[in-house]
Amino acid sequence: MSAAAPELPLTPPRPPDAPLSYRLGRRATEYARLMRLDKPVGTWLLLWPALWALWIAGEGRPTPRVLIVFVLGVVVMRAAGCVINDFADRNIDPYVRRTRDRPLAARRVAPLEALVLFVLLLAVALYLVTRLDLLTIKLACIGAALTVSYPFLKRVFPMPQLYLGISFGGWSVPMAFAAQRGTLPRVAWVLYLAAVIWAALYDTIYAMIDREDDLKIGVKSSAILFADMDRFLIGVMQLMMLYALVLVGRSMEFGRWYHAGVGAAAVLFLWQQWLIRRRDPGGCLRAFVNNQYVGLVVFVGILLQYVYA
């Protein structure tokens, strides 16, 4: 690592006689930033596959209790994933321009505080999932173990973005089918595959932003692995995801509304290819954020398919 990393304070600066309400407000703000509550794009990217699965498994009418549990569960688990990720990267993030101001990296939150927050979030997630059936609880435990292990693979696994999809980006899909149907049909695994590929491709686009910094500090990513073939291989993954969605539509005998949603996703993928054509950080960030609309249009297609079928 470079010796030029900044020396960071252990506590955030504040007026010496700040009132208790001010200090509590500052702590709450830092915890919210640690959980990425100020950046909801990541939550949407995780929520869309869950909503796809809930609507398909529930044949257009997911059980309200299951829907509420999954929406809250995604929000909580995304927050927990961000906390444990920043804990694992607390000594790496200060060397990356995009992440050096994160609460743990900037030493405004102590590692022990982050671990306590992580445990509390896991406890909330556990409470939520116990409102569901045993199969869903078992799958949730597997998903939690995968999520916790993800941040630590960046040092050893050359494509952690793929593991992100396997562990975090798409695991809500089989859970949703288990909660709604009590079984895991083939279509659940095809939809899971689509979600895994999607997470891998949008996180590869995100990793392109940090490629130079990651190379310096030895963090692995698919953006580094793909090198100058990154745009081509992202395009391959985009086609694979679209094909998996087409297979889902065939399995469910969906019609024009669903395929219109998939077609809209294809148009958005073309726009993303345009945005990353120069590989500049600003364009890559815009392409990454654009993926929330990919999830939206696919969901709208599923929704309209059931409304007008």
Per-residue pLDDT of the chain (309 residues; tens, 9 = 90+): 443 444 444 444 555 566 776 777 888 999 999 999 999 999 999 999 999 999 999 999 999 999 999 999 999 999 999 999 999 889 888 988 888 999 999 999 999 999 999 999 999 999 999 999 999 999 999 988 888 888 877 678 888 899 989 988 899 999 999 999 999 999 999 999 999 999 999 999 999 999 988 888 888 899 999 999 999 999 999 999 999 999 999 999 999 999 999 999 999 999 999 999 999 999 999 999 999 999 999 999 999 999 997
Tell which residue, 28, 48, 46, has the closest CA to residue 38.
28
Burial of 266 (0-12, 13-18, 19+ CB in 10 A): middle
DSSP symbol at 57: H
- pTM, 2 dp: 0.91
- Going by C-alpha positions, the residue among 251, 194, 239 that lies closest to residue 57 is 251
CA atoms within 13 A on the CB side of 11: 6
Q: Which CATH number is 32-308's, of 3.40.50.2300, 1.10.357.140, 1.10.3470.10, 3.40.50.300? A: 1.10.357.140
Identify the H or E element spanning 264.
Answer: helix 256-275
pLDDT of residue 103: 94
The per-residue pLDDT for range 93-116, each reduced to its tens digit, is 898 888 899 999 999 999 999 999
Chain segment 245-295, per-residue pLDDT in tens: 999 999 999 999 999 999 999 999 999 999 999 999 999 999 999 999 999
CA neighbours within 13 Å on the CB side: how many for 292? 10
Domain boundaries, the chain: 32-308
For 289, half-sphere exposure in the C-beta direction (CA atoms, 13 angstrom radius) is 10
Closest to 56 (Cα-Cα) out of 44, 46, 48: 48
Q: Which residue reads 């199969």 in tokens? A: 135
| pLDDT at residue number 17 | 62
Q: How many CB atoms lie within 10 A of CB 159?
A: 20
